[in-house]
Structure 1
């Protein structure tokens, strides 16, 4: 064990401690997968990342992303939070204002403008209607009638999200799913606010298997929802989604659709700096 630089950052909120926390271990060379997974389990946060030297010449750094129970090829708030931590530790942004992150899903461009970071979403690797039997199960877990689901789609881009669209943000906020029935499901729910509202959609993310079963703010899910709702004409090319409201958070996810590119952004705030022995 040796001291390694350690950070905790808050992602997707202008107010510190109102977004989604991320733990970041810097200079993680020499740690085994098992050691990384054990530490991620110990932090008990939605995700913990480990920064490593890149293997791709275009990348500024490489990251490995872990939940409390598994490694993910990609996740949204860990991407933005890791970029913030890397910069705070002395990373060189360069004149173009873009960081290139290497992860298991490939190379992810990240735009930086002050405390606002935005990643270009990787392509969906499963993007199709959800089969009827599974949709019936999802409705049961959410405690709603199947007819309450306006539309649905697989939105897999690392995490195995199933996108569920309801008629209103109020319906999304009213959901009280049973965490004991989630099992292996990863469910993202979205509903619109009335026109002229400060935010255009409310989003919630539920998943089984970890101690944290509702995610405060979720970049990967919002990336998939943006692709789906843009393709189906439900959402404009630029909008803001709220998430974490039920949990007392103030998550704000900024979506910009530029042709085929989906950019998912928000504020990132450094909260804790120190070292950890690993």
Structure 2
């Protein structure tokens, strides 16, 4: 019997039971992919991250991500949770200024944000963002995500955003409409699978000054009815805002994004939009809390 250390880490929060829970398995080199999938299913968290050795010359480790249903190419909140664990439990905070993960979509550098030598948050640089067109009937989409057609914010386009996974970005007029959304999960999941979409991401600028943007994320197509606080989707959203000209690409931006409040798991993401060689550079930062630690028997 193998005993594998396992952690339950809440990301994008500084209190237990908030933010987005991730399974983190830091010594996964002895596991098969089938075992990883079974562990992710057993943990039944939105995503689980498995840390492996990397042969890439510029990476410290390789990471594989699984939902309870399938492997996915990238997960933001699980990367935040994994990085927090390595910084605090495995002393990487004192070993190096950053850590680099090899993922299915490329290299993801993570840096430490410290005050008085204390870790405050971790910041991951996502892969270069992209947007894609999608042909979809707005009335049908509104019905699928459980809002009224009149709740859609016509000032902004409905597009697919990407920083590792494809996210359907849906602009909504009010936070209230987002909070009251009751998606048709089975039908939404089928639509997402048909278009190879990981999540459907609702967003609004209507926040009463509490945040810059408020979001909510549904991912039934990959086995997650609702993903509480999503680093990948909000990174894709940030890229979309610049690529679509909603935010200027001539200057950097700092965004505070709130998510998870509608389901009692409030979290905050801090997103920086910069540029390099005329392409947007998206950095998503947040804190985390190790809520449960133990061992799983294989």
TM over 0.5: yes
**Is the CA contact 2:151–2:177 (under 8 Å) kept in the aligned structure 1?**
no
CA–CA distance in structure 2, aligned partners of residues 6 and 35 of structure 1: 13
1:158 paired with 2:158, answer no
Task: Give the alignment partner of residue 255 of structure 1, picking from 271, 292, 295.
Answer: 271
Question: What is the CA distance between 1:64 and its match in structure 2?
Answer: 0.7
Unaligned runs of 5+ in 2: 114-118, 193-198
Picking from 173, 179, 184, the partner of 1:178 is: 184
Which whole-Å deviations, capped at 9, do the CAs of 1:170-201 have from their partners, x for residues lacking one? 22222222223222323100001356x12111
TM-score normalised by L of structure 1: 0.91
Shift of 1:129: 2.2
Aligned to 1:228: 240
Could you tell which deviates more after superposition, 12-21 or 84-93?
84-93
Provide closer, same or farther for how the CA distance between residues 82 and 256 of structure 1 changes in structure 2, counting only shifts above 3 A.
same
Q: Which residue of 2 aligns with 1:88?
A: 88
CA distance in structure 1 between the partners assigned to 2:241 and 2:177 by the alignment: 18
Which digits, 9 at most, give the CA deviation of each residue in 1:254-275, with x for residues without a partner? 1111222111111111112222
The answer on whether the counterparts of 1:163 and 1:189 sit within 8 Å (CA) in structure 2 is yes
Tell me the SS of whatever aligns to 2:37: helix
Give unpaired runs (5+ residues) of structure 1.
none
Cα distance change, pair 136–32 in 1 and its aligned pair in 2 (3 A) = farther
Q: Distance in 1 between matches of 2:262 and 2:124?
A: 26
Return the alpha-carbon distance in structure 2 between the equivalents of residues 234 and 171 of structure 1: 21
Q: Does the CA contact (< 8 Å) of 2:217 and 2:230 recur in 1?
A: yes
Deviates more, 1:100-109 or 1:203-212: 203-212
Q: Which residue of 1 aligns with 2:229?
A: 217
From the superposition, tell whether residues 56 and 73 of structure 1 become closer, same or farther in structure 2 (CA, over 3 Å).
same
TM-score (ref. length: structure 2):
0.85
Partner of 2:58: 58
How far apart are residue 19 of structure 1 and its match?
A: 0.7
Structure 1 residue 210 displacement after superposition: 5.4
The answer for the alignment partner of 2:195 in structure 1 is none
2:274 equivalent to 1:274 = no
Per-residue deviation, 1:251: 0.8
Alpha-carbon contact 1:50-1:65 (below 8 Å) kept: yes
What is the DSSP-based 3-state SS (H/G/I as helix, E as strand, rest coil) of the residue aligned with 1:45?
coil
Counterpart-to-counterpart distance in 1, 2:260 and 2:90: 31
Alignment of 1:1-278 (within 5 A): 1-93=1-93, 97-113=97-113, 114-124=119-129, 127-133=131-137, 135-146=138-149, 148-149=151-152, 150=154, 151-184=157-190, 185=192, 186-194=199-207, 197-209=209-221, 212-235=224-247, 237-259=253-275, 260-278=280-298
Counterpart CA distance in 1 for 2:89 and 2:55 is: 20
Counterpart CA distance in 2 for 1:94 and 1:273 is: 22
Instruction: State the shift of 1:10 in Å.
Output: 0.8
Contact 2:67–2:223 under 8 Å retained in 1: no
Paired residue secondary structure (2:132): coil
| Shift in Å, 1:206 | 0.7
CA RMSD of aligned residues (A): 2.1
Distance 1:92 1:212 in 2: 31
CA contact (8 A) 1:85 1:270 kept: yes
